[in-house]
């Protein structure tokens, strides 16, 4: 092998190595971006589920308080997860509205209950916008 062949071979090796390094950097960057996007999406799904669960807990809390006191009209709660506003309107049936807020997420649950004859009956339970 003469000197010129050795230099050409060495130059080609450096170019190939540089190409592989560039491809590895591109693939790694794409993977990191994909992971970052998935983490943010998962966090939003988690927050949406958490705020929904909080709104349902507020509705359940209102039902329990109505069982104990038929004149219960609602309350506002500041919880570690977020805020919860519970309102009870109407006579019979009564409408319970539980609105939970965590950050930019807001979910509302409406429950219609009948309280006649000292028996509480849930007539409907739905999420509203």
Right CATH for 3-128 from 3.30.1300, 3.40.1350, 3.30.60, 3.30.300: 3.30.1300
Flag whether pLDDT at 119 surpasses 60: yes
Phi, psi of 79, deg, nearest 5? -110, 165
The secondary structure of residue 127, as a DSSP letter, is E
| Residue 8 structure tokens | 């050409």
Flag whether pLDDT at 19 surpasses 60: yes
- pLDDT bucket at 7, cuts 50 / 70 / 90: low
Global pTM reads: 0.72
pLDDT in tens, 32-73: 999 999 999 998 888 889 999 999 999 999 999 998 888 899
Task: Kindly list the domain boundaries of the chain, sorted by start residue.
Answer: 3-128
Residue of 24, 34, 96 lying closest to 65 (CA atoms): 96
Distance CA 52, CA 46 (A): 10
- pLDDT bucket at 109, cuts 50 / 70 / 90: very high
């Amino acid at each position: 092998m003469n000197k010129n062949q050795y230099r050409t071979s060495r130059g080609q090796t450096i170019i190939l190595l540089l190409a592989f390094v560039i491809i590895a950097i591109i693939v790694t960057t794409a993977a990191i971006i994909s992971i970052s996007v998935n983490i943010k999406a998962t966090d939003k799904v988690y927050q949406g589920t958490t705020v929904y669960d909080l709104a349902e807990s507020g509705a359940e809390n209102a039902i329990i308080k109505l069982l104990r006191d038929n004149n219960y009209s609602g309350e506002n709660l500041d919880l570690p997860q977020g805020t919860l506003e519970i309102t009870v309107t109407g006579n019979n049936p009564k409408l319970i509205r539980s609105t939970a807020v965590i950050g930019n997420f807001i979910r509302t649950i409406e429950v219609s209950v009948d309280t006649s004859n000292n028996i509480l009956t849930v007539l409907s339970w739905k999420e509203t916008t």
